[in-house]
Amino acid sequence: MTQAELAQRAQVSQQLLSKIEQGARTLRPDMAQTLAKALGCRPAELLPALAMTPQPETENTRELELLELFRRNDERGKETALAVLRLNADPA
pLDDT in tens, 16-47: 999 888 888 888 888 988 999 999 988 878 87
**Each residue of 66-86: pLDDT tens digit?**
888 888 889 999 999 999 888
Phi/psi at 70 (nearest 5 deg)? -60, -45
Phi/psi at 6 (nearest 5 deg)? -65, -40
Q: What distance in Å separates the CA atoms of residue 63 and residue 86, rounded to the nearest whole number? A: 16
Q: What angle do CA 76, 69, 65 make, to 5 degrees?
A: 150
Nearest to 63 by CA among 52, 50, 51: 50
- Domain ranges in the chain are 3-89
Fold of 3-89: 434 Repressor (Amino-terminal Domain) (1.10.260)
CA 77 to chain CA centroid, Å, is 19
